[in-house]
Structure 1
Amino acid sequence: MIFPAIDLHNGQSVRLYQGDYDKVTLINKDPVVQAKDIINTGVNQLHLVDLDGAKTGRPENYTVISDIRKNFDGFLELGGGIRDEKIASMYLDLGIDRIIIGSAAIENPQFVKKLLKRYGGDRIVIGVDGSNGKVAVNGWLEQSDVKMSDLIKTMMDDGAKSFIVTDVARDGTMQGPNLDLLMKLYQELPKANLVASGGIRDLKDLHNLKALGITDVIIGKALYEKTITLKDIAEVEKNAS
């Protein structure tokens, strides 16, 4: 699946440059309208991130997320600040199709293991964000010493299936995805479902990822720079089905 991304900050849709909260670009004051536009174009999946929640570790844009769920009847995944079972259950009970666990996968692996056991790998996705092959945590504000491949292996042993891999250095740069990183991870962990995120520019990037065996992709800035359109995504999805 190809997921358009909506990043939420203070109730609005924004983009950050390389995860920098001081480099914010407003995309849409009304993310609910944006979500409606996406599904009305024929794209039936959406990637949501609570940027404020990623920093604080608690829901900060719940009202907007709830409104998007009511108005978007496609497949909806959500990440940002989901660090305890109460928050995870709240979002899953809201009808979010799958939630993304990021920092907690390193900081509280027992919690993630418990979630995977309760809800399964189809509803719990692991966000593996970082640079130079190592994982970043807490809204990308801190760099850990944990290798991306090691985190993926550990989470697979606990029942995880899908991993959103984001090279922080590529995010919002329009430089193309880190194909070397993704290829290494794919070769080392062929049973992991890798979701490419960060740097995707155009349809050529989608074809390059597909050639690696990666068909799940998250697209953010390219949509707002219009180097990929929602119609393009709908057409690629239609041809893939």
Structure 2
Amino acid sequence: MQLYPAIDLLAGKSVRLTRGDYERVSLSADPLDQVARLNAAGLTHLHLVDLDGARAQQPINQAAIKAIRQQTSAFIELGGGIRNLVTMGQYLTAGINRLVLGSVAITDPDLVAQAVTQFGPQRIVVGIDVRSGKVATNGWLTTTQQSVMDVMQTVQTTGAQTVIVTDIGRDGTMQGPNVDLLRALQHTVPQLDIAASGGIRTLDDLTALRAAGIHAAIIGKAWQTGAIDLNKLKELEDDDADQTDYSLP
């Protein structure tokens, strides 16, 4: 299983939100210290989110992102405030390996299709944030009337191959992932690779996701609080790699 420890950036600091609430910030930390911990554990992938950018609908934390890029050789995927091809090109040129398009995938799927054509499906993925079955946008501040399934079907038409599905109600809660939802989505739209996000708290949660057909997961609060040991994450990732290559591009 490909694992992505997550760092969410707010005013240059690494924070965790509970259920996407910007007023419920916890675990403020130096992101470079966290990156050093990930490097030491040998983890090779990192999920970054520009929370300020998601809310402002434009990049905000570029300085922190640049510093993180310089400190690690890890594969970095980045989301938050990415709304046009120029911004995408700038981030990719700066060494970000893959971009997560969230709100723009809801409001302008044609732009996602253009991005996939221009940069390739290995460098563009779609992030779908779900609140009570409906898709949220703009840093989770706005809830649309579109269902996650409707959006998944639209994503198929853009040429994107990977979707990150975040259950907002579980994000930052350490209550476990929404395995039933993710299993149903993967079964219904098998052409897309789904990465799980939200609520992951234990290695058993990751095992349950793998059994549900999910081969990638984003872990936030669990690794930052020590609920999941980074060395154990590395062991799980390596064990899976020895059996079958489920790595996303």
Q: TM-score range by the shorter chain?
A: over 0.9
Which residue is equivalent to 1:149?
A: 149
Which residue is equivalent to 1:140?
A: 140
Which residue is equivalent to 2:39?
A: 39
1:184 Cα offset (Å): 1.1
Which residue is equivalent to 1:118?
A: 118
Equivalent pair of 1:177/1:205 in contact (CA under 8 Å): yes
Which residue is equivalent to 1:2?
A: 3
Which residue is equivalent to 1:13?
A: 14
Report the Cα distance in structure 2 between the residues aligned to 1:209 and 1:26, rounded to whole angstroms. Answer: 26
Report the Cα distance in structure 2 between the residues aligned to 1:91 and 1:36, rounded to whole angstroms. Answer: 22
Matched residue type, 1:5: A
Which residue is equivalent to 1:25?
A: 26
Aligned length: 240
Equivalent pair of 1:166/1:196 in contact (CA under 8 Å): yes
Matched residue type, 1:4: P
Matched residue type, 2:217: V
SS in 2 for 1:121: coil
Report the Cα distance in structure 1 between the residues aligned to 2:194 and 2:133, rounded to whole angstroms. Answer: 14
1:84-95 counterparts in 2 under 5 A? 84-95=84-95
Equivalent pair of 1:41/1:234 in contact (CA under 8 Å): yes
Matched residue type, 1:111: L
Report the Cα distance in structure 2 between the residues aligned to 1:7 and 1:195, rounded to whole angstroms. Answer: 17
Q: Which runs of 5+ in 1 are unaligned?
A: none
Matched residue type, 1:90: Q
**TM-score computed with the length of structure 2 as normaliser:** 0.94
Equivalent pair of 2:130/2:168 in contact (CA under 8 Å): yes
SS in 1 for 2:234: helix
1:26 Cα offset (Å): 3.2
Report the Cα distance in structure 2 between the residues aligned to 1:145 and 1:31, rounded to whole angstroms. Answer: 35
SS in 1 for 2:176: coil
Report the Cα distance in structure 1 between the residues aligned to 2:165 and 2:232, rounded to whole angstroms. Answer: 22
Which residue is equivalent to 2:226?
A: 226
| CA displacement 1:208-230 (0-9 Å, x = unmatched) | 00101112000011112322111
Range that drifts further, 220-229 or 58-67? 220-229
SS in 2 for 1:126: strand
Report the Cα distance in structure 2 between the residues aligned to 1:224 and 1:170, rounded to whole angstroms. Answer: 16
Which residue is equivalent to 2:166?
A: 166
SS in 2 for 1:169: coil
SS in 2 for 1:110: helix
Asked if 1:217 corresponds to 2:217, the answer is yes
**TM-score computed with the length of structure 1 as normaliser:** 0.97
Q: Which runs of 5+ in 2 are unaligned?
A: 242-249
- What's the Cα RMSD here? 1.0
1:87 Cα offset (Å): 1.0
Matched residue type, 1:58: Q
Asked if 1:177 corresponds to 2:177, the answer is yes
Equivalent pair of 2:5/2:45 in contact (CA under 8 Å): yes
Q: Percent identity?
A: 46
